[in-house]
Structure 1
Amino acid sequence: MAISLNVTGLDTDTIIQQLMAIERQPLQKLQSQKTLLAKRKSAWDTVNTRLGNVSSRLASLTRISTFEGKKVAVQNSAVVLASASSTANCGSYSLRVTSLARGQIAGSASFASHDSPLNISGALTLNGRAIEVNITDTLSSIAAKINAADTGVEASVLQTEPSKYRLVLTSSETGTTNAMSFEGDLSAWQALGVIDGNGVLNEIQAASDAVFTLNGVQFVRHSNTVSDAAPGLTLDLAQAVDPQTGSGGVTTITVSPDDDAVVECVKQFIVDYNTLIETIKSYNSYDPNSGTAGTLFGDPLLRRLLVALREVIFKQVDGAFPGFGTLSSVGISTGAPGSYTKDGKIVLDEAKLREALATNRDAVMTLFGARAPNVALFSAGASVTASSTYGPEYPASSVIDGSSSPLLWGQGGGWTDGTPGAFPDFLEIEFGGERTIDRIGLYTLGSETYPAESYGVRDFDVEYWDSAGNSWVSLFAVTGNTQGYVSQAFDPVTTSKIRINVTGSNDDQHSRILEVQAFAKNDGAFSSLAETLRMYTASDGLLPVRTEQIDRLDRDLSRQIESMQRRLDMRMESLRRKFSALEVMLQQFNAQSAWLSQQLMSLTHDTRNG
């Protein structure tokens, strides 16, 4: 509401605005606080995104499949294309392809037209599928009927010369077992010229099998795609030895660990980790010259996160292989001495990482946290005792030698008790010191000759030694087992030894165990880092809690601003009313003053004239 009388000659609107500007100062402070909160929330959202990026990289680095991948190199890719799964054995394979698998091809006689009635009729049978041909059918319509009959044959009409057309039948599958069969009305097949008067097929190409040798061993397959010659290796044969010149058809295939995949994962992790560090330092920065501070400068949670990242990434990993205790031992560090980064960013010595992978892949996996260390190994300092032993061919020591193969059963490759038909039997494994474990694996006898459902342990329980209570404590129990391998995870426990008590076997005679594994809690560098990040990013983690705190403060400020704005609006309205009342009052005073002046002037005039 503007003030329009302007009796005083004052700029009352400006005065009111200046007064309100003073009154609005607390409101402006609240609005500034709200703006700052929005910036802080945005900053935490960015940090959370950066943490998520790092977590996704860690997921790859802590997966066994990342390390078990294989790559294939083919000396002559014109001969074969090859791929390998994680189960493929590393090594070289010498390949010689004698012949390729081919599908059978047969043809009809030549006809003057492809779309004129052939005046041929009959019930044809191709690969067991019935095809009815009538006198109005043409070469093209017969081809269409064959293709619609799901015969495993592809029919086409080809123009071989001007006004000469042939029906060509090609087996969809290669190999001699997929040769076509022509039955039914043979006179109709003969009229088409697919079969001659003697019942001989008009064959354009005979079906043939792929014949090849791999490391000197001959194979015959019905397809050029072979996946059962060597475990995990798939071959797509493309070229055979030329029978005339003897050239081609020979190559070497090399299968090796896919180190490139691991190195690339590490590189991607380093990029995202360094971006995270840069983001944190930017938000926590302070320039003493300009007095400018980062959005989250001084936030204790941000400082705590930075410290946690540095502690985990550079820590000594418990249970790691000797010489592989830290990430720097495999080339992941802040840089070489004299050239290290001072801001906490990390760099990769790729040659050192590749050397570590070639030297001891399992050690790198354990260091990263992709594979937990097995502490129930003689090589790790473990020892074992048994309730009894059947004989020297079945030693208890074999259950901690790292081999779970049943091939050496009865030759020192597994333990069995010496009390047939009597249970329980037990194995007690000491670790040589306190170890924190969270998973037990047990291989019982299980092979084609000795299946686990007939010879394996059926019922057993596992205990750990509680040194504080000076007693055995149950970890878990298994009943009715028929599998060759049993694995059980549990909450981590710290102990110096475990005991396996067997209370029954599937033949009710002997306890037969090939290997026992006790896996230490996975404290690898990257698995530990992933666990640390989850503390911050989980739905109930530290970052969501901090974001909720900011949201609560923001809502509270919004309420304060809304309330203060209402009060300011009321204050402005009050000032306008007061100044308006002042103008009205002054106008009345001016009117009275003018009347009095008029009366005085009139009185003076009368006095002079009297």
Structure 2
Amino acid sequence: MASISSLGIGSGLDLNGLLDQLNAAERGKLKPIESQIKTQQVKISAYGELKGALSAFQTAANALNDASLYQSLSTSTTGEAIQAAAGADASLGRYEVEVETLASAGSYATARLEGIETLDDSVVSGGGTLQLQFAHANGGDGESVPISIDDNATLADIRDAINAEQAGVTASIVNDGDGYRLALMSTDTGEEASITGMDWSGVDLEAGVSFSTTATAVENVGKDAELTVNGIAISSPSNQVEGAIQGVTLNLTGEGSSTVKVEQNTRAVREAITGFVEAFNALKGTIGKLTAFTGDSETAGDLLGDSAVRSIESQLRSVLAGGVAAEEGGFAMLSDIGISLKLDGTLEIDQQRLDDVIANDQDALSAFFAGDTATGGLAGQLSEAITQLNGNNGALGGAISGAESRIESLNERYARMEQSIDATIARYRTQFGQLDGMIAQMNQTSDYLFQQFEMMNAQLGRK
């Protein structure tokens, strides 16, 4: 049988078109699987959105499950003399602070150096040791700090040697208009840290170099900060004063009067509880969107009728409504602190009641939300419930893994069916090729016979 290189050439039939139609019909069998895969992918995306909302709610619950939140303190100040920050061990109270003097750093400038014109000129011919003198250096260990100076050192070399030693001063060079001076500034404030002078006897100055007897050294002794707290006099070498008020750090910014109040940080607690309610209501909004029924399958929620969502709502509602075991005088239910569960499933705050609880019952509020163990309070119970829901055996975690497994199974089924379709089309192509060749052969035979009959008729006609 003759071989056909292209379908339809031998027979004249549109076998390629027919094969395409058969291929399209066969691949139509894949449509239901594709639809099922897309459905599961949409579900996984919706589950991811739900998981994000659950995570945000868990974060808000965890913030309330921290007992230190209810023990935090805040400071407020009036006046511009100080800023204040309270630590955990601060005592509640009101403090009147009068800043009389700010702490300052001492400074010292040498007499003008005569005999040098540029900073490249050598100041010291024979190196040695330069002594920096302090009012009370190194915490009482001595009153001077040695600085090693090289031979032929310039003023810039001396400056760099002092700075490299990190001796409690910063050295620089000042041009007073008529010549150069070496200037030093104490790195710490306070009288005891003051730089008071320099002893050059341990080095040999270059010939012709000397210190001016008219433009003499300039010394400014540092000062300690002087203040009173509730009338008690306090001296500090730094403008950051710790210990004057227990657990409070005062940063002195100017001279004058200020009032410091150390109070419970009610704002942080209020923001945490408000954030908790808002996060839960946002979660309810996400669930409502994902399970919405519109009567139109095109716009209905992606998780409409989903059992995992119903389980999540049921478990969270159970924890919220169940409350906690409370001691006498404590809070057992959300409603006790001014938070109610509405008919639509969202939470609502009675701001007046909540403000009263925050202002007067933070210990009981801590026991209600945080408890004395990780899951002893309502916030801990909610966080644990969400963790379980997200686990492999939880409602949401199981739903996600189930959808992923179904997609994997459908993909395998899709691949098998696609292979089967490809094999079927290949078989059709072979059969069509054989058909095309057979028809082509039959056409050739027909043409041959027709020619023979024509020749016979012509011969008979001549006779």
Instruction: Please state if 1:285 is matched with 2:288.
Output: no
State the shift of 1:360 in Å: 0.5
Counterpart of 2:371?
A: 371
Gaps of 5+ in 1: 241-248, 335-339, 373-437, 439-520
C-alpha deviations, 1:419-447, integer Å up to 9, x for none?
Answer: xxxxxxxxxxxxxxxxxxx7xxxxxxxxx
* 1:173 counterpart letter in structure 2: D
State the shift of 1:110 in Å: 2.5
Residue number among 168, 181, 185 corresponding to 1:152 in the alignment: 168
| Pair 17,606 (structure 1): closer, same or farther in 2 beyond 3 Å | same
User: Larger relative contact order (C-alpha < 8 A, sep ≥ 6)?
Assistant: 2
Counterpart of 1:264?
A: 271
Inter-partner Cα distance in structure 2 for 1:288 and 1:353: 41
Inter-partner Cα distance in structure 1 for 2:211 and 2:76: 48
Counterpart of 1:213?
A: 228
Which moved further from structure 2: 277-286 or 534-543?
534-543
| Pair 233,594 (structure 1): closer, same or farther in 2 beyond 3 Å | same
The CA RMSD measured in Å over matched residues stands at 3.3
* 2:229 counterpart letter in structure 1: L
State the shift of 1:291 in Å: 6.7
* 1:219 counterpart letter in structure 2: I
| Structure with the larger strand share | 1
Which moved further from structure 2: 263-272 or 148-157?
263-272
Residue number among 545, 550, 555 corresponding to 2:408 in the alignment: 555
Instruction: Please state if 1:124 is matched with 2:125.
Output: no
Pairs within 5 Å for 1:133-532: 133=149, 136-160=152-176, 162-180=177-195, 204-240=219-255, 249-290=256-297, 292-319=299-326, 322=329, 324-334=331-341, 342=344, 344-368=345-369, 370-372=370-372, 522-532=375-385
State the shift of 1:351 in Å: 4.6
Inter-partner Cα distance in structure 2 for 1:522 and 1:227: 37
| Pair 104,604 (structure 1): closer, same or farther in 2 beyond 3 Å | closer
C-alpha deviations, 1:492-512, integer Å up to 9, x for none?
Answer: xxxxxxxxxxxxxxxxxxxxx
Inter-partner Cα distance in structure 2 for 1:581 and 1:120: 111
- Secondary structure of residue in 1 paired with 2:34: helix
Asked whether the equivalents of residues 281 and 346 of structure 2 are also in contact (C-alpha less than 8 Å), the reply is yes
Asked whether the equivalents of residues 241 and 249 of structure 2 are also in contact (C-alpha less than 8 Å), the reply is yes
- Secondary structure of residue in 2 paired with 1:286: coil
State the shift of 1:152 in Å: 0.7
Counterpart of 2:437?
A: 584
Q: Percent identity?
A: 26
| Pair 292,178 (structure 1): closer, same or farther in 2 beyond 3 Å | closer
Inter-partner Cα distance in structure 1 for 2:446 and 2:148: 125
Counterpart of 1:40?
A: 43
Inter-partner Cα distance in structure 2 for 1:137 and 1:18: 97
Inter-partner Cα distance in structure 1 for 2:258 and 2:456: 136
Inter-partner Cα distance in structure 1 for 2:386 and 2:28: 42
- Secondary structure of residue in 1 paired with 2:113: coil
Instruction: Please state if 1:49 is matched with 2:52.
Output: yes
| Pair 347,110 (structure 1): closer, same or farther in 2 beyond 3 Å | farther
Asked whether the equivalents of residues 284 and 295 of structure 1 are also in contact (C-alpha less than 8 Å), the reply is yes
Counterpart of 2:427?
A: 574
Gaps of 5+ in 2: 138-143
Inter-partner Cα distance in structure 1 for 2:339 and 2:6: 72
Asked whether the equivalents of residues 210 and 220 of structure 1 are also in contact (C-alpha less than 8 Å), the reply is yes
| Pair 539,120 (structure 1): closer, same or farther in 2 beyond 3 Å | farther
Inter-partner Cα distance in structure 1 for 2:150 and 2:381: 76
- Secondary structure of residue in 1 paired with 2:261: strand
Instruction: Please state if 1:3 is matched with 2:7.
Output: yes
Asked whether the equivalents of residues 114 and 139 of structure 1 are also in contact (C-alpha less than 8 Å), the reply is no
TM-score (norm 1): 0.65
| Pair 352,164 (structure 1): closer, same or farther in 2 beyond 3 Å | farther
| Pair 192,524 (structure 1): closer, same or farther in 2 beyond 3 Å | farther
C-alpha deviations, 1:34-84, integer Å up to 9, x for none?
Answer: 22222222222222222222222222221123222222211012x111111
C-alpha deviations, 1:433-482, integer Å up to 9, x for none?
Answer: xxxxx7xxxxxxxxxxxxxxxxxxxxxxxxxxxxxxxxxxxxxxxxxxxx
Inter-partner Cα distance in structure 1 for 2:97 and 2:211: 41
State the shift of 1:98 in Å: 2.7
Asked whether the equivalents of residues 111 and 164 of structure 1 are also in contact (C-alpha less than 8 Å), the reply is yes
Inter-partner Cα distance in structure 2 for 1:585 and 1:105: 113
Counterpart of 2:141?
A: none
| Structure with the larger helix share | 2
Instruction: Please state if 1:66 is matched with 2:72.
Output: no
Moved over 6 A (4+): 187-196
* 1:304 counterpart letter in structure 2: S
Inter-partner Cα distance in structure 1 for 2:26 and 2:148: 99
C-alpha deviations, 1:5-39, integer Å up to 9, x for none?
Answer: 263x5433333333333333332211221222222
When the two structures are aligned, how many residues end up with a matched partner?
A: 441
Residue number among 96, 102, 111 corresponding to 2:104 in the alignment: 102
State the shift of 1:174 in Å: 2.1
